């Protein structure tokens, strides 16, 4: 009797180990890392890939459509620079302007250029994107033509979250209405469901989302709040910012801080090592960012995490959203 049980147990152990061994063997046998990626089931995380391969896999797993707000006089300067640098790494890149340029991927949303009109322009862009691409991507990023975005870090941050949750991220300003709003210049990124809610329930409702001359970021933030889209916390584990609304030099701790930011921002130390966006990037700086980020290597440094964070389940996701929606802006943290 006992002997039988012992044999059964031994058999199981050997069986399991043999299976492990075979799997290991099959994987090593077939250039494991890249095979591991292509054989992935949807939703599964690759275990055996290098960070570079993970980032590549993530490109199609966390799909981001980028909308860059610009105007005709910047088409040949900033639009070209964005397109030649970080914009290449979007799954889809659309420039929003008042004059079409097909070669550059610029659309005309039919709103005359004027500072007061930026909100209206962005609304039109969000309508256009929803109509044409609303179901084809997971996240929708808005940036300006003087923003630089590290798409790999954006995807890394977004990966745990279900794009079917009503959620958006950015640099959150603590002002104006309970959940505050995300800086337009640092860029904000909304989930597929957030974009859908805006289009189905906000844009047709003059109370939730009135047309006015307020600033674009504040007003879009207002509309999002009113249709239940939660302002997420994009800071890293130590509370350092990932979306930087000022020029980088102003964010550095040694720089005199007599600017407007500290009044508006949540407590933060510059800057997360996993930073995502930079604002007020000068024309020549696009190439500088590109050089330092994507070309230069420092011998001996290994700077990125070796795995993706795990994806949140339904319950965890709800808990996180609830936590954030209670984090209203009069809370000093």
Ligand X SMILES: *[C@@H]1O[C@H](CO)[C@@H](O)[C@H](O)[C@H]1NC(C)=O
Least gap, CB of 86 to ligand X (angstroms): 18
Q: How far is the CB of 22 from ligand X (least distance, A)?
A: 27
Choice between 107 and 198, CB closer to ligand X? 198
242 and 213 in contact (C-beta within 8 Å)? no
**Which of 4, 41, 42, 204: binder of ligand X (CB under 6 A)?**
204
Does position 34 interact with ligand X (CB under 6 A)? The reply is no
Which C-beta is closer to ligand X: that of 150 or that of 272?
150
Q: Is 201 in the site for ligand X (CB under 6 A)?
A: yes
Q: Is there binding between residue 39 and ligand X (CB under 6 A)?
A: no
Shortest gap between Cβ of 195 and ligand X (angstroms)? 14
CB 332 to ligand X: min, Å: 34
Contact region with ligand X (CB under 6 A), list: 11-19, 54-62, 104-112, 244-252: 54-62
Residue 230's H or E segment, with its range, is strand 230-231
- Block residue for tokens 């974009």: 195
CA-angle at 137, arms to 174 and 37, nearest 5°: 110
Angle between helices 151-158 and 51-61 (to 10 degrees): 70
184: left (phi over 0), alpha (psi -120 to 50) or beta: alpha
Euclidean distance between CA atoms 40 and 321, whole angstroms = 28
Which of 277, 275, 248 lies closest to 261 in space, CA to CA? 248
> Which range of residues in 56-64, 182-190, 233-241, 247-255 is near ligand X by CB under 6 A?
56-64
Judged by CB under 6 A, the stretch of 55-63, 66-74, 145-153, 284-292 that binds ligand X is: 55-63
With CB under 6 A as the contact rule, the residue among 205, 257, 310, 331 that binds ligand X is 205
Tokens coding 227: 């249709």
Instruction: Determine if 254 is a binding residue for ligand X (CB under 6 A).
Output: no
**What's the token pair of residue 190?**
């909304």
- Is there binding between residue 60 and ligand X (CB under 6 A)? yes
Q: Rounded CA gap, 89 and 83, in Å?
A: 9
């Amino acid at each position: 009797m006992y002997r039988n049980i012992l044999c059964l147990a031994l058999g199981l152990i050997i069986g399991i180990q043999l299976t492990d061994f075979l799997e290991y063997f099959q994987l090593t046998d077939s250039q494991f890392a890249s095979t591991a990626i292509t054989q992935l089931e949807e939703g599964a995380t690759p275990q055996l890939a290098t960070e570079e391969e993970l980032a590549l896999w993530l490109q199609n797993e966390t799909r981001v459509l980028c909308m860059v707000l610009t105007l005709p006089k910047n088409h040949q300067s900033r639009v070209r620079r964005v397109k030649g640098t970080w914009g290449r790494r979007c799954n889809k890149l659309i420039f929003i302007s008042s004059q079409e340029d097909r070669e550059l991927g610029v659309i005309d949303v039919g709103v005359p250029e004027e500072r007061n009109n930026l909100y209206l322009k962005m609304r039109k862009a969000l309508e256009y994107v929803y109509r044409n691409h609303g179901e084809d991507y997971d996240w929708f990023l808005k940036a300006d033509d003087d923003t630089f975005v590290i798409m790999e870090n954006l995807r890394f941050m977004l990966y745990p979250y279900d794009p079917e949750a009503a959620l958006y991220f950015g640099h959150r300003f603590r002002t104006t209405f309970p959940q505050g709003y995300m800086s337009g210049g640092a860029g904000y990124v909304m989930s597929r469901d957030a974009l859908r809610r805006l289009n189905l329930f906000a844009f047709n409702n003059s109370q939730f989302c009135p047309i006015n001359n307020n600033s674009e970021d504040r007003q879009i933030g207002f509309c999002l709040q009113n249709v239940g889209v939660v302002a997420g916390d994009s800071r890293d584990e130590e509370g350092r910012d990932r979306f930087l609304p000022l020029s980088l030099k102003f964010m550095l701790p040694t720089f005199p801080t007599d600017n407007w930011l500290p009044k508006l921002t949540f407590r933060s130390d510059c800057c997360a090592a996993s930073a995502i966006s930079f604002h007020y990037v000068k024309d020549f700086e696009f190439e500088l960012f590109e050089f330092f980020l994507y070309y230069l290597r420092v011998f001996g440094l290994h700077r990125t995490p070796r795995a993706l964070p795990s994806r949140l389940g339904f319950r965890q996701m709800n808990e996180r959203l609830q936590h954030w929606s209670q984090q209203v802006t009069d809370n000093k943290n």
